[in-house]
Amino acid sequence: MSHDANLKVRLLDVAAEEAGQRLDNFLLRHASGVPKTRVYRAIRKGEVRVNKGRSKPEYRVQAGDTVRMPPLKMNEPKATGAPSGAWERRIRAAILLDNADLLVINKPTGLAVHGGSGVRLGLIESLRSLFPDTRYLELVHRLDRDTSGLVLVAKNASALRSLHEQLRKGSIDKRYLALVAGKWPAYQKSVSAPLAKRHTPSGERIVKVASEGKPAKTEMRVLERLPEATLIEAKPISGRTHQIRVHTQHLGHAILGDVKYQNDQSRAISATAGLKRLFLHAQAISFQLGGERYELECPLDAELESVLARLRSQR
């Protein structure tokens, strides 16, 4: 796309396969290289119109909508927002499934699912950059930046709607592997504790167990007992931010490698085990889509397996 293409008003007709995505995402796809803040400002000031009326960034565009896109100046060509070669190779290698409805990614640790809050490029922006011809890509659910494992990305509005409906009903089965400090009690099969989001003075988001929080429940079972640690399977029944991390910490068994939700014991064991990252991995997910049953799994990466091997050798 030439620079000049962005410097005149464009009227974009929403195609059927683009329907259902948020207005901000729709615009960002059609204005590659334009800073996000500029796109949001254009929406806020009413420079962007949908069917001649003002709209909000979260409005979901419909087939046949006409979106007025004002002249938007691109960043310099170097800032097109493409992932580095190394990240691109990692992301391509992490694709577990690619069909007409879905992309399923085994997300590496350290990659945010989307940009913002100091993250220039997240998984979804990287995928849109790697697959410019796929007109619709939307995250079905989120995964913390430091958590690895399965992430679903919808390729059309009907897949997104169906999966969101199943998430609301609780009929998507998600299972995580977590290595927690200490001896997880065998009788502790679940944790129910309400969670509330807070912000630290520095603006960092932190989640706490609080009576005024939203209800949250996680089911757990012990998979393996190791010296000073327990490998558990965690199944979140609700989908709150940082839920598994806060629930395990709440019971005094923080997840190893978690610098945000830790205690003295988990900090010491993480150091001994040589753990440089959060030991939380979205290992399995199952759901229905388009009359098909999906049961997907992805194993722990080499780094986490080596930590387990090191702890087992201490027996």
Residue with tokens 């399977």: 233
Which residue in 148, 147, 304 sits closest to 226, CA to CA? 304
User: Rounded CA gap, 164 and 151, in Å?
Assistant: 13
Give the torsion through C-alpha atoms of 34, 36, 42, 48, to 10 deg. 80
User: Rounded CA gap, 128 and 239, in Å?
Assistant: 25
Structure-block tokens of residue 178:
């977590």
The C-alpha angle 74, 77, 81, rounded to 5 degrees, equals: 80
Element (H, E) at 265: helix 264-272
Phi/psi at 119 (nearest 5 deg)? -100, 115
Kindly give the interhelix angle for 36-44 and 23-30, rounded to the nearest 10 degrees: 130
**Beta strand 217-226 pairing with 292-297:** unpaired
Tell me which DSSP letter residue 21 carries: S
Q: Is 65 in the active site?
A: no
Phi/psi at 165 (nearest 5 deg)? -60, -45
Which of 65, 144, 146, 258 is catalytic? The answer is 144
Catalytic residues, by residue number, are: 144
